[in-house]
Chains A and B, each alone.
Chain A
Amino acid sequence: MSGPPIAHAGHWLVNLLYLVPLLVVIGMLAITSMRDRRAEAAEGAGAPAPDPPSSDEP
Chain B
Amino acid sequence: MSRRRLLAALAVAVGTAVLLPQAAVAHGLVGREDLPIPKWLFGWAATVVLVVSFVGLAVLWPKPRLEQPSERRVVSIPKLLDPVCGAIGVAIFGLVVYAGFAGSQVTATNIAPTFVFVFFWVGIPVLSVIFGDVFKAFNPWRAIARGVAAIASRVRPLPEPMPYPAGLGRWPAAAGILAFAWFELVYPGRGDPSNHAVVALAYAAVQLVGMSLYGVSAWNRNGDAFGVYFGLFARISPLRWERGALHRRMPLSGLTSLDAVPGTVALLSTMIGTTSFDGFSNGPVWGELAPRMTDSLRNIGFSQATALELAFTIGLIVVVSLVAGLYRLGVTGMRNASNIDLSTEQLAARFAHTLVPIAFAYVVAHYFSLLVVQGQALFYLVSDPLGTGADVFGTAQTTIDYTWISATAIWYVQVAALVLGHVAGLVLAHDRALVTFKDTRAATRSQYWMLAVMIAFTSLGLWLLSAANS
B452 and A17 contact, CB distance less than 8 A: no
Q: Is the CB of B462 within 8 A of A29?
A: no
Residue from the list B9, B46, B291, B459 in contact with A1, Cβ < 8 A: B291
User: CB distance A21 to B455 under 8 Å?
Assistant: yes
B337 to chain A: which residues have CB within 8 Å? 33
| A 1-40 binary contact with B (CB < 8 Å = 1; else 0) | 1100100100100110111111011101100110110000
- A residues engaging B (CB < 8 A)? 1-2, 5, 8, 11, 14-15, 17-22, 24-26, 28-29, 32-33, 35-36
What is the CB-to-nearest-CB distance from B368 to chain A, in angstroms, rounded to a whole number?
20
- Mask for B446-465, Cβ within 8 A of A = 1, else 0? 00110110011001101100
Let me know if B156 is at the binding interface, CB within 8 A. no
**Interface assignment of B51: CB less than 8 Å from any CB of chain A:** yes
Known contacts A2-B288, A21-B47; decide if A28 and B459 are in contact (CB<8 Å): no
Check B40–A29 contact: CB distance below 8 A: no
Check A26/B40 contact, CB under 8 A, given A1-B291, A18-B459, A33-B337. Answer: no
CB distance from B37 to the nearest CB of A (A): 12
> In the assembly, what is the distance between CA of A21 and CA of B457, in Å?
12
Closest to B9 in A: A28
- CB<8 Å pairs between A and B, sample of 27: A1-B291, A2-B288, A2-B291, A8-B284, A14-B38, A15-B463, A18-B40, A18-B43, A18-B466, A20-B44, A21-B13, A21-B44, A21-B47, A21-B459, A22-B456, A25-B47, A25-B452, A29-B449, A29-B451, A29-B452, A32-B1, A32-B2, A32-B5, A32-B448, A33-B337, A35-B2, A36-B1
B445 within 8 A of A: yes
Per the bound structure, the CA–CA distance linking A20 and B291 in Å amounts to 29
Alpha-carbon gap, A14 to B29, bound state (A): 11
Q: SS class of chain B's interface: helix, strand, loop or mixed? A: helix
Chain A residues in 8 Å Cβ range of B2 = 32, 35
A8 to chain B, nearest CB (A): 8
State the Cβ distance, A31 to closest chain B Cβ, in Å. Answer: 8
The residue among A1, A8, A11, A22 with the most chain B CB atoms within 10 A of its own CB is A22
